Chain A
Amino acid sequence: AQSVAQPEDQVNVAEGNPLTVKCTYSVSGNPYLFWYVQYPNRGLQFLLKYITGDNLVKGSYGFEAEFNKSQTSFHLKKPSALVSDSALYFCAVRERSGNTGKLIFGQGTTLQVKP
């Protein structure tokens, strides 16, 4: 069965420190991978995606993510966290085959950046 795991419910970092939000997946083949962010009482905003090519992808607001095929992981990173980065982050995968665009989401990780 396809699944996405975000092993940490919450990640706490100090402002200015690097941050990592972890994501692993179990999907047949090589999926498309996505990160979304959600601010309180809002919908999800797209951050970045991995389609093919370079394993390090860059996205919005200084975020980047590293695709690791052997570890089936797609961890979200940022070199220097801001208090405004505090939000709920979701990892999602989509199979390469088929055209329906169905996304499978992880359970979400709350990022808390303290001043």
Chain B
Amino acid sequence: DVKVTQSSRYLVKRTGEKVFLECVQDMDHENMFWYRQDPGLGLRLIYFSYDVKMKEKGDIPEGYSVSREKKERFSLILESASTNQTSMYLCASSLGGTGGRGTEAFFGQGTRLTVV
């Protein structure tokens, strides 16, 4: 089974702190994603990566950056955390290339981040 592991289930950080959310997948997937989930808004894409060192902005990239130095790991960085970044963060991975078309994404268990 595909496993996507997020480093923390719950995090509490102070305003202005630099925050790192880590995600690791064990299925050699090319694509990795960071989503933010808020009630009534569904999942919104922050950033995604389709290869090592490659990244693209999603729908709400402001205030975030990402890093993908190794294929299995995709990190989300909040450069200076703010209270409006309090949310549930979900990491996902999927098979890339033409062989991955139509395949589903697999999600981690989520990190609930509270910024105080």
Task: Give B contacts to A, CB under 8 Å.
Answer: 4, 9, 30-31, 33, 35, 40-45, 48, 50, 56, 58, 90, 92, 94-98, 100-110, 112
Q: Chain A, interface size: which category?
A: 20 to 34
Q: Is the CB of A100 within 8 A of B101?
A: no
A contact set with B: CB distance below 8 Å: 4, 6, 9, 32, 34, 36, 41-46, 49, 51, 90, 92, 94, 96, 99-108
Partner of A105, one of B31, B42, B48: B42
Question: What is the bound-complex CA distance between A108 and B90, given in angstroms?
Answer: 15
Contact of A107 among B42, B50, B100, B109 (CB under 8 A): B42
Q: Contacts A42-B110, A99-B98, A101-B95 given: A90-B43 contact, CB under 8 Å?
A: yes
Known: A100-B31, A107-B41. A49 touches B101 (CB 8 A): no
